[in-house]
Amino acid sequence: MAHLSGLGPTIIAVVWIQTALAILLVLARLYTRQIIVRAYGHEDWLMVVTLLLFILYSSFTTVAALTGLGSHFSELTLEQFVWSNKMEIAGQTCNIFAIAASKSAVAAFLLRLVIVDWHKYFLYGCIASTTIVCFLCAILDFFQVTPIAAVFNPTIPHTVNFNFTANAIFSGSYTALMDFVLALFPWYFLAPVQLRKKERMTVCFGLSLGVLAGICGIVRAIELGALGTADYTLPLILWGSTELLVSIACATIPVLRPLYKKFRGQSKSSDDHSGPSKTGARSGPAYVLSSIRHDQFTAGERQKQYSAGGDSERGVSAAGMDNASDESIMRDAWRYGIKETTVVDISYDSARDVDTIEESRA
């Protein structure tokens, strides 16, 4: 029953190259979040689900291509057509759910940042509506005709229940709209959030890459208009996998900045709450106030300039934030929301200043 011909090899090569790129991106994301930043969230689990569905999509598509997908309908036996059609529809179902998971991952990321209630409700609405639209699209595919077997074998006498092409175009258009909404969301909705300018720009520009996924979604929605033709599959499959890869890339690339900085030797351990600072912002070594006593200074050290820094946070204390990216505001404490932090810097210019401070404490 195997029939690998026509554009079948091209389909297999393209989907697996894209799948390999997606695997590398997600593995890099997991390493960054779990090892470097140590702030694993719901959006990371959703990205793992997206990747698993992507792999299933590529697997089903490969089986379909090995049995005739990519060849003209007239070149296949009925058995080959029915089997490849089953595998292709199974793959498309995984693709639809993966698209919903990828959009939900971006929205879950933003939920960690926003502080206004209706902004949160808006994001929850995006997650719920996208999931419902994609779920209905996947399920209705199997009920567009009666009996269901006619979905895979249109030569069986059947009754058309509704126009599935219109439903598929609507679903593809809606997910593309969500790409644009989530890409433009940070520019307005993060305005009330207290972020440094560099952090804000990193988040906004990083998520704006979602516009590329939206463009792919528009092209895919246009290709969905060919569902009623016999040889519709190739553009739809290739644009479906491309949209999924771009969605994963757009949601992952902004998160990888700490990994990039680590390779450049600029990273700092996320557990470095005390002790000498590894940043070069101060002229001398830095110490948390609670970690050093007056009797720890030697006579020679008292002649040097010291800087003592302490972080006081209202609520749960967070790790040092020096990643210069969206990750720098999403440490372990991010799950509790944005925290207001007060930074205190005290400089000792001489040993006399140290003695004076100790005498005032006494």
Measured CA to CA in angstroms, residue 6 lies from 64, 82, 223, 258, 295 at distances of 13, 17, 20, 44, 81
pLDDT tens, 126-178? 999 999 999 999 999 899 899 999 888 888 998 999 888 888 889 989 999 99
| One domain for residues 103 and 209 | yes
Which H or E element spans position 146?
Answer: strand 145-146
Strands 306-313, 341-348: pairing kind:
antiparallel
Strands 341-348, 145-146: pairing kind:
unpaired
| One domain for residues 329 and 256 | no
Range of the domain at 170: 8-263
| One domain for residues 234 and 349 | no
pLDDT tens, 9-22? 888 999 999 999 99
| One domain for residues 108 and 254 | yes
| One domain for residues 259 and 291 | no
How many folded domains does the chain comprise?
Answer: 2
Q: Are 1 and 83 in contact (CB under 8 A)?
A: yes
- Nearest Cα to Cα of residue 248 among 36, 86, 98: 98
| One domain for residues 88 and 128 | yes
| One domain for residues 65 and 189 | yes
| One domain for residues 82 and 197 | yes
| One domain for residues 30 and 129 | yes
Please check the confidence at residue 240 and state whether its pLDDT lies above 80: yes
| One domain for residues 123 and 200 | yes
Cα–chain center distance at 252: 5
pLDDT at position 135? 95
- Nearest Cα to Cα of residue 240 among 176, 152, 145: 176
pLDDT tens, 167-215? 888 998 999 999 899 888 777 776 666 667 666 676 777 777 778 888 8
CB environment 109-118: b (16+ within 10 A), e (fewer): bbbbbbeeee
| One domain for residues 173 and 312 | no
pLDDT tens, 276-311? 333 344 444 444 444 444 444 444 444 444 333 444
Is 280 part of a structural domain of the chain? no
Binned at pLDDT 50, 70 and 90, residue 236 comes out as confident
pLDDT tens, 34-91? 888 888 888 999 999 999 999 999 999 999 989 888 777 777 788 888 898 899 899 9
For residues 190 and 112, give the distance between their C-alpha atoms in angstroms, rounded to a whole number.
11
| One domain for residues 318 and 198 | no
Is 240 part of a structural domain of the chain? yes
User: The domain spanning residue 111 has which CATH number?
Assistant: 1.20.1070
* Lookup: tokens for 95: 């693709």
